[in-house]
Amino acid sequence: MEHMDVTFLGTGTSHGIPVIGCDCGVCHSTDPRDKRLRTSIHVQTGGFSLVVDTTPDFRAQCLRENLRRVDAVLYTHSHVDHIAGFDDLRRFCELENKALPVMGSPQTLENLARVFHYAFHAETRYPNYVRPDPRPVAGPFEIAGLDVVPVDLPHGRMVTTGYVFSRGPRRMLAYFTDCAGVPPEAEDAARGVEVLVIDGLRHHSHSTHLTVEGALEASRRIGAAQTYLIHMCHDLGHAATEAGLPENVRLSHDGLRLRL
């Protein structure tokens, strides 16, 4: 059976860490795990390469991981810290002279087409520029031998899309970033998942993101075998925060690789 390799391209909140002009201990930490680019993952399975979100740091993330091929992009939502690296996809279209499947909710794709209108309309697109092949996600779909179930997650005035990746009976990965809660439908879709990646911004409350404690509670309800927190702000130092977590819960960090 094919493996799924997951690489955390970035694990930080919209500011990134270190935060501009901040003198806190985490922003000045010498622990490389406290250096967090904006949140995104790369998934590879059976030679197929996909990324979830293209952050403002996408180019640097691709260079760091020597990423040379992208076959599809999944978007969780259209906030700037998750889409601003869209233009850097043009290199992957150019390398293989191909259009690139770009997937997300109808609203997310509508927003992408508005912001990057010059790429979505062939009459205004330069040769060898990003050639998106928009594919709205309105229900479960299959990609590269993986069954993917999209779920709605609350994120303030916006609904983001979480993704649950399975192969056969194995629920392998649930990716729930940028959410203030996990509704029952999303819990059911991820029940018993091997790895849950979930928003864990900080300890004190936030109107659009889960706290560490909220993420832990969601993990318990889902029954995830292993959980990694993501989209963390500079309130959370890696070593100090991990020391207080249950054994099956860890902080993600940039460059972390998992094989499922």
Task: Name the region of 178 (left: φ>0; alpha: ψ -120 to 50; beta: rest).
Answer: left
Residue 176: its pLDDT value, please?
Answer: 98
Q: Classify residue 198 as exposed, middle or buried by CB count within 10 Å of its CB (0-12, 13-18, 19+).
A: buried
CB hemisphere CA count around 160 (13 angstroms): 28
Question: Token match 């806190």: residue?
Answer: 24
pTM of this prediction exceeds 0.95: yes
Task: Give 10-residue mean pLDDT values along the chain (260 residues).
Answer: 92 98 98 98 96 98 97 98 97 93 98 94 79 96 97 96 97 98 98 98 97 98 98 98 97 98
156-168 tens-digit pLDDT:
999 999 999 999 9
Q: How far is CA 74 from CA 40, 42, 135, 177, 212, in A?
A: 10, 10, 10, 13, 25
* Largest separation between any pair of C-alpha atoms in the chain: 55
Residue 127: its pLDDT value, please?
Answer: 72
Structure tokens of 248? 């099956």
Rounded to 10 degrees, what is the CA torsion of 226, 17, 68, 173?
Answer: 20
Query: Nearest-CA neighbor of 37 among 20, 21, 18?
Result: 18
The Cα–Cα gap between 92 and 132 comes to: 11
28-58 tens-digit pLDDT:
999 999 999 999 999 999 999 999 999 999 9
Q: Is 114 helix (H, G, I), strand (E, B) or coil?
A: helix
Residue 206: its pLDDT value, please?
Answer: 96
Question: Token match 């889960």: residue?
Answer: 210
Contacts of 190 (CB under 8 A, 6+ apart): 151, 162, 164, 171, 174, 176, 182, 196, 222, 224
Domains and CATH numbers, the chain: 5-259 (3.60.15.10)
The Cα–Cα gap between 39 and 16 comes to: 9
Number of helices followed by number of strands (H, E) in the chain: 8, 14
Which DSSP string corresponds to 195-254?
EEEEE---SS--SSS--HHHHHHHHHHHT-SEEEEESB-TT--HHHHHHTS-TTEEE--T
Which H or E run includes 11?
none
Contact 125, 116 (CB under 8 A): no
Structure tokens of 49? 């390469």
Residue 1: its pLDDT value, please?
Answer: 63
Residue 115: its pLDDT value, please?
Answer: 96
Contact 18, 38 (CB under 8 A): no
Gyration radius of the chain over CA positions: 17
